[in-house]
Amino acid sequence: MALLKNHQWIYTKRPQSIVTNEHYTLKESTIDTSTIKEGEALLQSKYWSVDPYMRIQQSQHNTWEAPHPLYTVQGGAVVGQVLVCNDPKSNIKTGDWVLSYTGWQEYAVTKTSELRKLNPNEVPVTTALGILGMPARIAYFGLIEAGIPKEGETVAVSGASGAVGQIVVQIAKIKGCKVIGIAGSDEKLAYLKNVLGVDQVINYKKYPSHQKIKESIKEACPEGIDIYYDNVGGFITDAIFELINHKARIIVCGQISQYSGGLDTPEMGPRFLHHILYKRATIQGVLARDYNDRMDEMLSEMTPWTKNGSLKYQETIIDGFENLPIALNMLFHGKNKGKLMVKSTI
Amino acid sequence: MALLKNHQWIYTKRPQSIVTNEHYTLKESTIDTSTIKEGEALLQSKYWSVDPYMRIQQSQHNTWEAPHPLYTVQGGAVVGQVLVCNDPKSNIKTGDWVLSYTGWQEYAVTKTSELRKLNPNEVPVTTALGILGMPARIAYFGLIEAGIPKEGETVAVSGASGAVGQIVVQIAKIKGCKVIGIAGSDEKLAYLKNVLGVDQVINYKKYPSHQKIKESIKEACPEGIDIYYDNVGGFITDAIFELINHKARIIVCGQISQYSGGLDTPEMGPRFLHHILYKRATIQGVLARDYNDRMDEMLSEMTPWTKNGSLKYQETIIDGFENLPIALNMLFHGKNKGKLMVKSTI
């Protein structure tokens, strides 16, 4: 019998607004490595994903599923290495890098059938959490299948330098669209424009109201907006609803401006459905999980783009398991550039 | 030369909230009946359509087109009779009943190519304005093509006893759906339930807030809402967004609660796009004009239903050309049952 000391972040208190350390409890426990059953593997977590959807799951109300249960390990995607594999029939071997959904713990025992093997020689393993992971899946299918971008159309993207946004803007450019990216710092705008090739950029933090930002977006896109890929909601979205073109497609992938309380007690905003009527536009909500079974389809297109550098990406990597709740909090202050994750230091 | 005395309602002032007589000027003029050109006909208007979209076109802002021009005859659909036809090649003859778009005037000269001939022996001519007219076209295509109703699904309809709503509820029943109709008087509810076969009915005027009406809708439809055909907007719509099912389809056909000012200075309401995200729902704006070229397709299905009585309808007919602006105003107070029109008394 070998006992392995483990640490877990337990979700213990439902936040009313911003999520902080106080909503989690760090727990020490042990894993008996001799009790790993057939078909299971022991993983060491190396990178933990930190995602806006985690805050949605903390809402008091049902969302796409019941709220994240209290007093359990915070769920989430993890990139780790297999320390022990008790499954001779699996393609997973000791030492392999894998993607798992074992959440915020240093070590985890899980079924090998729930692991996706990664090839660290092909692309960096962290890409499995971002540019070739869940954010990529919804960026790709959300834009292509709900947005149906056509060459020459104008695509607006809110949260443009986030994990999903940075991918959407690039796919839209590959599809021959004019792209306007909206983000929250001049540094982010410079990256969007100079590295990702975004045509027009707007720093939403410089605007006090939806009327003012609307004027700037209109100036940047006098031809109007054909596709709006929305990660943010709130006043940016209010502005864009007034600028959409005939038969515009609005993809609701996220509403991060509303997550810290607005899901339980909605913020008030100007009614806009009449614009949808005038323009015979569509609004469609999209979730990455709906495309789980089409991961390979996305990867077959996106992996070559990533390998040959035509798809660029940023990652914000925070060191130390102990910083996970702080990292989650950072999302709601826009402190990440691209995909946010936490790296193990052990 | 024969001079015919004509009266026209001229749109002369843009309303800020409710439209009344003061926004129109009654003008007397003459038509020289000897000057009707080849390809033209002289009509006597018999029934004038009064529609919510007329108020949209009075908004200061562009909607689906520029605002209705001031100092011109109020546009709109008319059922009339041909007094003179100067077009031997046309199928239109003197004495024919026709549908035209010549607006609020007692007599009009128009191209015969812009007339649709009606058969008064088949169905009453007034049906061309309602149950077999523009409201039917958008009810039919909006529900069938944007809603895609499936047997056993639950369909909610706001403005359920209006010109469009009364048709939507019946098509939804024909398609095997459970239907909940929301309207503004107990008399309307009784008609919806007892005559049109609507399963559940709600009088929205009995509710002070979206939370309260939500509770009642939830009680009436514990299974949730699969399709919402929205003619009204405002707090009814707020409530339903919280009750939609996975992959719900929301059809925005009208937002009548917002027309009297809310299009220019939007009312505030709770943000709801996060629900669209959770449920991977779609919202789609629909306008009757997009289906103009498919009128025959709609009529081929709906005319037999109307003739055999399987499609029922109400009309509210106000006597007297002089009452047109008052009739338009009635729409925004829900004083119509089914299709509202004004009948000529000359």
Q: What is the pLDDT of residues A332-344, one digit of tens each?
A: 999 999 999 999 9
Give B225's DSSP letter.
E
- Which residues of B fall within a CB distance of 8 Å from A64? 278-280
- Which residues of B fall within a CB distance of 8 Å from A249? none
Q: Residue A1: is its pLDDT beyond 80?
A: no
CB A173 within 8 A of CB A198: yes
d(CA A324, CA A24): 10
d(CA A9, CA A225): 43
* HEC letters along A85-116: EECCCCCCCCCCEEEECCCCECEEEEEHHHCE
Q: What is the pLDDT of residues B66-121, one digit of tens each?
A: 899 999 999 999 999 999 999 999 999 999 999 999 999 999 999 999 999 999 99
Q: Give the pLDDT confidence score for residue A2 in this predicted structure.
A: 84
**A256 three-state secondary structure:** helix
- Which residues of B fall within a CB distance of 8 Å from A283? 273, 276, 282-284
Q: Residue A220: is its pLDDT beyond 70?
A: yes
Q: Return the closest-CA partner of residue B108 out of B132, B147, B77.
A: B77
Q: Give the pLDDT confidence score for residue A61 in this predicted structure.
A: 82
- Which residues of A fall within a CB distance of 8 Å from B233? 271, 273-274
d(CA B176, CA B171): 9
Write the CA distances from A289 to A18, A303, B274, integer angstroms.
25, 20, 16
Select the residue of A268, A279, A284 nearest B269 (Cβ to Cβ): A268
Q: Cβ B237–A284 below 8 Å, yes or no?
A: no
What is the four-CA torsion angle of B241, B58, B162, B155, rounded to 10 degrees?
-20
**A312 three-state secondary structure:** coil
Q: Give the pLDDT confidence score for residue A128 in this predicted structure.
A: 98
CATH 3.30.530.20 is the classification of domain A3-129+314-343? no
Q: What is the pLDDT of residues A112-122, one digit of tens each?
A: 999 999 999 99
**A237 vs chain B: nearest CA distance in angstroms?**
10
Q: Return the closest-CA partner of residue B264 out of B44, B60, B5, B23.
A: B60
Q: Find, in chain B, the residue whose alpha carbon is nearest to that of A263.
A: B274
Structure-token pair, residue A315: 């990652």
d(CA B125, CA B108): 18
| Burial status of residue A117 (CB atoms within 10 A of its CB: 0-12, 13-18, 19 or more) | middle
DSSP strand E in A148-281: where?
Answer: 154-158, 178-183, 200-203, 225-230, 244-252, 268-270
- Which residues of B fall within a CB distance of 8 Å from A56? 274, 278
Q: Find, in chain B, the residue whose alpha carbon is nearest to that of A63.
A: B278
A248 touches chain B (CB under 8 A): no
Strand-by-strand arrangement of the A24-32 sheet = A24-32, A3-11, A72-73
**DSSP states of B123-191:** S-GGGGGTTTSHHHHHHHHIIIIII---TT-EEEEESTTBTTHHHHHHHHHHTT-EEEEEES-HHHHHH
Q: What is the pLDDT of residues A180-199, one digit of tens each?
A: 999 999 999 999 999 999 99
Q: Find, in chain A, the residue whose alpha carbon is nearest to that of B268.
A: A270
Q: Cβ B283–A273 below 8 Å, yes or no?
A: yes
- Which residues of B fall within a CB distance of 8 Å from A258? 271, 273-274
B263 touches chain A (CB under 8 A): yes
- Which residues of A fall within a CB distance of 8 Å from B209? none
CATH number of B3-129+313-343: 3.90.180.10
Angle between helices A165-174 and A134-141 (to 10 degrees): 40
Q: What ipTM was estimated for this complex?
A: 0.95
Sorted by sequence, the CB contacts under 8 Å of residue B309 that are 6+ apart come out as none
Q: Cβ A283–B290 below 8 Å, yes or no?
A: no
d(CA B221, CA A291): 30
A contact test, residue of B271, B275, B289 with most A CBs within 10 A: B271
B68 touches chain A (CB under 8 A): no
Q: Cβ A254–B277 below 8 Å, yes or no?
A: yes
- Which residues of B fall within a CB distance of 8 Å from A263? 274
Q: Cβ A255–B274 below 8 Å, yes or no?
A: yes
Q: Give the pLDDT confidence score for residue B1 in this predicted structure.
A: 62
Low-confidence ranges of chain B (pLDDT < 50): none
A267 touches chain B (CB under 8 A): yes
Q: Cβ A273–B279 below 8 Å, yes or no?
A: no
Q: Give the pLDDT confidence score for residue B213 in this predicted structure.
A: 97
Structure-token pair, residue A230: 């929305």
- Which residues of B fall within a CB distance of 8 Å from A282? 282-285
A266 touches chain B (CB under 8 A): yes
| Burial status of residue A83 (CB atoms within 10 A of its CB: 0-12, 13-18, 19 or more) | middle
- Which residues of A fall within a CB distance of 8 Å from B258? 271, 273-274
**Residue A221 confidence class, pLDDT cut points 50, 70, 90:** very high
CB A74 within 8 A of CB A103: yes
How do the domains of chain A map onto residue ranges? 3-129+314-343, 134-289
Q: What are phi and psi for residue A225, nearest 5 degrees?
A: -110, 125
B contact test, residue of A57, A62, A274 with most B CBs within 10 A: A274
CATH number of B134-289: 3.40.50.720
User: Quick one: how far is CA B340 from the chain centroid?
Assistant: 8
Q: What is the pLDDT of residues A82-131, one digit of tens each?
A: 999 999 999 999 999 999 999 999 999 999 999 999 999 999 999 999 99
Chain B segment 282-301 residues within 8 A of A by beta carbon are: 282-287, 290
Q: Cβ B276–A230 below 8 Å, yes or no?
A: no
B239 touches chain A (CB under 8 A): no
CB B244 within 8 A of CB B272: no
**Residue A208 confidence class, pLDDT cut points 50, 70, 90:** confident
Neighbours of B130 (CB within 10 A): 27
CB B235 within 8 A of CB A273: no
Q: Cβ B263–A269 below 8 Å, yes or no?
A: no
A1 touches chain B (CB under 8 A): no
B66 touches chain A (CB under 8 A): no
Task: Report strand pairing: A40-49 vs B3-11.
Answer: unpaired
Q: Return the closest-CA partner of residue A19 out of A336, A233, A324, A320.
A: A324
Select the residue of B272, B278, B290 nearest A280 (Cβ to Cβ): B290
B248 touches chain A (CB under 8 A): no
Q: Cβ B254–A262 below 8 Å, yes or no?
A: no
Q: What is the pLDDT of residues A260-290, one digit of tens each?
A: 999 999 999 999 999 999 999 999 999 999 9
Q: Give the pLDDT confidence score for residue B61 in this predicted structure.
A: 82
Q: Cβ A267–B267 below 8 Å, yes or no?
A: no
B56 touches chain A (CB under 8 A): yes
